[in-house]
Structure 1
Amino acid sequence: MRICYVDEAGCTGALPNPSSDVQPVFVLGGVEIPQPSIHRVTHEFLHLKKRFYPNLAPKSATYLDWILTEIKGSELRKGAADPSHRKRRHALGFLHETLSLLETEGARINGRVWIKGIGQAVNGRSIYTFSLQYICGCFNRQLEVDDEWGLLVCDSRNKALNSLASYSVFTQKFKASGDSIPRVLEMPVFGHSENHAGVQIADVICSALLFPLAVHAYCRTAVTNLHVRDYSHLRDRFTDRLGALQVRYCDPQRGGRLTGGVTVDDKIGRRPRTDMFPVPVQRGLVAA
């Protein structure tokens, strides 16, 4: 069995002009972890937090209390672009160790990246639900190949938004033509990030890696707001490793084209995902 932890980065608000402070990218990403590895991943992630950020939790905190204190991906992203070499090295070191943990435990990633068009309307509900359906489909394909079953745990937002997201998956499982994601056992469940190491790791992947890599690849020449920084340190160190963690497969319904993994919808320049992941993916490749 595998658990797919889902989190988001950015917002679904429209970007009215190039200098607006609205985030130019929205990411919804999933981190798939084998169920037997969840205990190890959780304990190792707690150790990483204590090692890299020993003053983050109160001195009275017990070992297990460290799950309640989060290292937000947005702060790691900021640290990775900081002029201070020490702060950059610290953030990059934490990201390196987090990816090493996922690689060791056989985790995989998938998701959707949306590059907002400048001055274009954005349908936030549609973007989120379509992205979640995509993650479920990609997750289901991998479960079929591995002959496994899976569940999704999403970071909770509020009851109304959670219900809409869950309903979008319900329509995929119970449509008249049949269940399109039969290996995904139930609709997504929604958890609070302070109780799930997997959700916290998904936040790190989405906010500290996928979001800035997308900004660096697609927004630098068109958007001039505070969210666009030099993220070359992240690109140089982590693009290949993230690419190798993706679930990619040949889709017979699309003429055998390679699909899955982290896909990109670029409303600014209509550029392909290879602008973000230029190195061919070597792991996670599934035959048609």
Structure 2
Amino acid sequence: MHLCYIDEAGNGQTLDPARPDAPPVLVVGGFTVPRAQIKSLTWAFLEAKKQYRPQLRNAEQLSEVIQHEIKGSDVRKNLRAGNHGWQRAAMQFVASLLDILEAHEARVLARVWVKEVGLAFDESGVYPASVAALNESFQAQLAYEHSRGMMVLDSRTKVKNAPNVHCVTTRKYRTGGDMLRGVIESPVFGHSDTHTLLQLADLTVSLLLFPIACHAYLSDLTWNVHCDDAYQPLREHFGERLRKLQFRYQDPLGKWRGGIVVSDRRTRQSSSLMFGTPKVTPGSAAAIPGQPGTPFPERHDAV
């Protein structure tokens, strides 16, 4: 069995020079992990939190360490405006998060939406569409692994939560048959202060994917606080590792899907910018426009 933990970074606020702090992108994503790895991954993540926040080493109760959340937005501030020591600590923290994801057979998946300046952004439609797409990717991985799984979303409000479930439920119970046979139930919701791995999903999205996307696709918007060259090292040092953490698969028409998918509404650039500018050889997966990643063969004996 596999679990999938999903969170988001950004919102539906319009990207406009009058609002320099408006998020330029919305990222909905996280990671999958085999059930057998969950306990070890949790302990490794708690240890990473202690390394970044040394005061947690003196906590008397385990609950103190679990409930103490390190927010990606705070770490990003250290990258942008912190001294050299803070910046180094932030980069080391990101590296440790990738280390534990790699060591525990995790796979990163996300939908990244790049906004257009001055145009309204329909978060209420984009978020459920992202969850639906991520469930399709999750289903493809479950089929490949001969596994079953469940998705855990970071809880928002009931009004916002409900559409994210309905979009999956209708696909599972439609008249034509279950499109998500490996996904044993519609997404459930958790709170990050009680579901530790939702904190890791938050950091994966808000500390890694969000700033990389801002730098890769919107670095020319110097008036926006999130489009900062301080994020360039994230892309340079961790882009290739992020690329390898994807699960990629081919659909019946031979198109590569899954992993980290970018919808660039400004300049229509490919998802490969998330991973730096890798060398491309003819016939490689990275040579397919907008479809980077480490491909996995598609299996048709789906669960």
TM class by smaller structure: over 0.9
Corresponding residue to 1:285 among 274, 281, 296: 296
* Equivalent residues in 2 for 1:1-288, closer than 5 Å: 1-17=1-17, 20-55=20-55, 61-82=60-81, 84-222=83-221, 224-230=223-229, 231-252=231-252, 255-277=253-275, 278-279=277-278, 280=286, 283=294, 285-287=296-298
Of residues 124-133 and 159-168 in structure 1, the stretch that sits farther from structure 2 once superposed is 159-168
Equivalent-residue separation in structure 1 for 2:200 and 2:53 (angstroms): 15
TM-aligned CA deviation for residue 199 of structure 1: 0.6
Which secondary structure does the structure 1 equivalent of 2:151 belong to? strand
Which secondary structure does the structure 2 equivalent of 1:276 belong to? helix
Q: Structure 1 runs of 4+ off > 3 angstroms?
A: 16-20, 278-284
Equivalent-residue separation in structure 2 for 1:190 and 1:238 (angstroms): 29
TM-aligned CA deviation for residue 121 of structure 1: 1.7
Taking only aligned residues, the RMSD between alpha carbons, in angstroms, comes to 1.8
Q: Matched residue pairs, number? A: 285
Equivalent-residue separation in structure 2 for 1:116 and 1:243 (angstroms): 22
Equivalent-residue separation in structure 2 for 1:71 and 1:194 (angstroms): 11
2:71 partner letter? K
TM-aligned CA deviation for residue 78 of structure 1: 2.1
Which secondary structure does the structure 1 equivalent of 2:169 belong to? helix
Distance 1:60 1:44, change over 3 A: closer
Equivalent-residue separation in structure 2 for 1:68 and 1:286 (angstroms): 40
TM-aligned CA deviation for residue 18 of structure 1: 7.4
Over the matched positions of the two proteins, sequence identity in percent amounts to 38
Runs of at least 5 residues in structure 1 that lack an aligned partner in the other structure: none
Which secondary structure does the structure 2 equivalent of 1:194 belong to? coil
1:14 partner letter? T
1:212 partner letter? P
Which secondary structure does the structure 2 equivalent of 1:33 belong to? strand
Equivalent-residue separation in structure 1 for 2:42 and 2:4 (angstroms): 14
Q: What's the TM-score once normalised by structure 2's chain length?
A: 0.89
Equivalent-residue separation in structure 2 for 1:133 and 1:282 (angstroms): 21
Equivalent-residue separation in structure 2 for 1:237 and 1:67 (angstroms): 28
Equivalent-residue separation in structure 2 for 1:282 and 1:137 (angstroms): 17
Of residues 1-10 and 59-68 in structure 1, the stretch that sits farther from structure 2 once superposed is 59-68
Distance 1:18 1:148, change over 3 A: farther
Equivalent-residue separation in structure 2 for 1:53 and 1:85 (angstroms): 17
TM-aligned CA deviation for residue 147 of structure 1: 0.2
Runs of at least 5 residues in structure 2 that lack an aligned partner in the other structure: 279-285, 287-291
1:188 partner letter? P
Equivalent-residue separation in structure 1 for 2:70 and 2:82 (angstroms): 20
Distance 1:282 1:187, change over 3 A: closer
User: Is contact 1:29–1:202 with CA below 8 Å preserved after alignment?
Assistant: yes
TM-aligned CA deviation for residue 167 of structure 1: 1.1
Equivalent-residue separation in structure 2 for 1:19 and 1:89 (angstroms): 30
